[in-house]
Amino acid sequence: MRSPQPLRNGETPSLHPRIPETPFHSTVAVHKLKRFNSLILVFRLAAFCFSFASSIFMLTNSRGSSSPRWSDFDEYRLVFAANTIVALYSIFEMAESVWEISRNATILPEILQVWFDFGHDQAFAYLLLSADAAGAVLARRLRAENTCTETSPAFCVQSEIAIALGFGGFLFIGLSSLLSGFRVVCFIINGSRFHL
């Protein structure tokens, strides 16, 4: 048992011994943050893969002069544009996530980065959902009018694959949006993203 330290200048003895502060809590918080950011990175990578694949499938959907072209339909152009925008946004966000994991700091000031991620995740998730929903309605209408069976069934199948991949991209950017929303809440409550 340790001997009590001598008192100075009339101090009264403390009933509770002082516990030295350790960096354990901050280290745990940093590890949690890295795991959290790694999960966001995985979701952003998946959103990029699905959106990029959807854009490629739609862009290459031409079957000759007798077949319709994807660019003839406003809804399919919207599907292509929305998925391309989300793929480009996902590249930027993946780079930001890698930067944050490796440097333990955000590219933008922290408050701007947290709100930027949350706002853009929300906006692009809704953009992707509305574009793919419009594309799905057109694909269903083309099937109902027997356009697919008469002219080019491969055109319709490839369009439907592109739309399905777009919905996959929406799923993963939606999950990223949930996590970035959680970061906003942590930032509002604690004033820092490091207190997850």
Whether residue 108 lies inside any domain: the answer is: yes
Domain membership of residue 159 as a residue range: 26-60+67-190
Pinpoint the alpha helices (H) of 20-109.
Answer: 24-59, 74-103
Residues 6+ away with beta carbon under 8 Å from 69: 61, 62
pLDDT per residue of the chain (196 residues) written in tens, 0 to 9: 555 555 555 555 555 555 444 443 455 566 777 888 899 999 999 999 999 999 999 998 876 666 678 888 899 999 999 999 999 999 999 999 998 888 877 888 888 888 999 999 999 999 999 999 999 999 899 888 877 766 677 888 889 999 999 999 999 999 999 999 998 888 888 876 555 4
For residues 122 and 129, what is the distance between their CA atoms, to the nearest angstrom?
A: 11
Whether residue 107 lies inside any domain: the answer is: yes
From residue 137, give the alpha-carbon distance in Å to each of 62, 123, 130, 172, 192. Answer: 20, 21, 11, 22, 43
DSSP 13: P
Whether residue 14 lies inside any domain: the answer is: no
For residues 128 and 175, what is the distance between their CA atoms, to the nearest angstrom?
A: 13
pLDDT of residue 62: 76
pLDDT of residue 22: 42
Whether residue 106 lies inside any domain: the answer is: yes
Q: Is the Cα dihedral 143, 146, 147, 152 positive or negative?
A: positive
DSSP 73: -
Q: Is 83 within 8 Å of 75 (Cβ atoms)?
A: no
- Cα 32 vs. chain centroid, distance in angstroms? 18
How big is the chain by its Cα radius of gyration, in Å? Answer: 26
Q: Is 18 within 8 Å of 40 (Cβ atoms)?
A: no
Whether residue 34 lies inside any domain: the answer is: yes
Q: Is 79 within 8 Å of 162 (Cβ atoms)?
A: yes
Give how many domains the chain has, as a whole number: 1
